[in-house]
């Protein structure tokens, strides 16, 4: 592995994500392919994919509340799982490997 691949990226989330927005982590496991595709299209309006089943979003409280209200409609509670973490306060984000730069502009949400 090259030094670029082993490079550790450490950033203080407070320095990157300022203002009234919070970093929101959405993690899901949806069994049905069709439902998973629908959910991915839905969640892409809120944030960026950082893993196959994980998205990071920068959301104001109103959009976070809307996400929490609408997202569960995409899962079957008997077979799927969905977790939404709202990260607040002082935190530190550590990343290894391929990384995606998150824009701090408002997400474009269309309903």
CATH number at residue 26: 3.30.70.240
Range of the domain at 57: 3-88
Q: Is residue 94 part of a domain?
A: no
Both structure tokens of 48: 């960026």
Q: Indicate whether 9 belongs to any domain.
A: yes
Query: Cα–Cα distance between 42 and 31 in angstroms, integer?
Result: 16
Q: Which among 96, 78, 83 is positioned nearest to 24, based on CA atoms?
A: 83
Q: What is the pLDDT of residue 17?
A: 43
Q: What is the pLDDT along the chain (111 residues), one digit of tens a residue?
A: 444 443 334 344 444 445 688 999 999 999 999 999 999 999 999 999 999 999 999 999 999 999 999 999 999 999 999 999 998 877 776 767 666 565 555 554 443
The domain total for the chain is 1
95 belongs to a structural domain: no
Task: Give domain status of residue 105, yes or no.
Answer: no
């Amino acid at each position: 592995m090259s030094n670029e691949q082993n490079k550790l990226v450490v950033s203080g989330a407070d320095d990157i994500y300022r203002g009234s927005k919070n970093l929101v982590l959405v993690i899901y496991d949806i069994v049905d392919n069709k439902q998973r595709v629908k959910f991915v299209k839905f969640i892409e309006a809120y944030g960026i994919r950082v893993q196959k089943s994980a998205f990071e979003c920068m959301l104001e409280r109103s959009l976070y509340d809307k996400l929490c209200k609408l997202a569960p409609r995409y899962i079957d509670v008997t077979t799927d799982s969905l977790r939404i973490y709202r990260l607040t306060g002082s935190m530190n984000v550590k990343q290894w490997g391929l990384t995606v730069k998150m824009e701090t502009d408002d997400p474009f949400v269309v309903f």
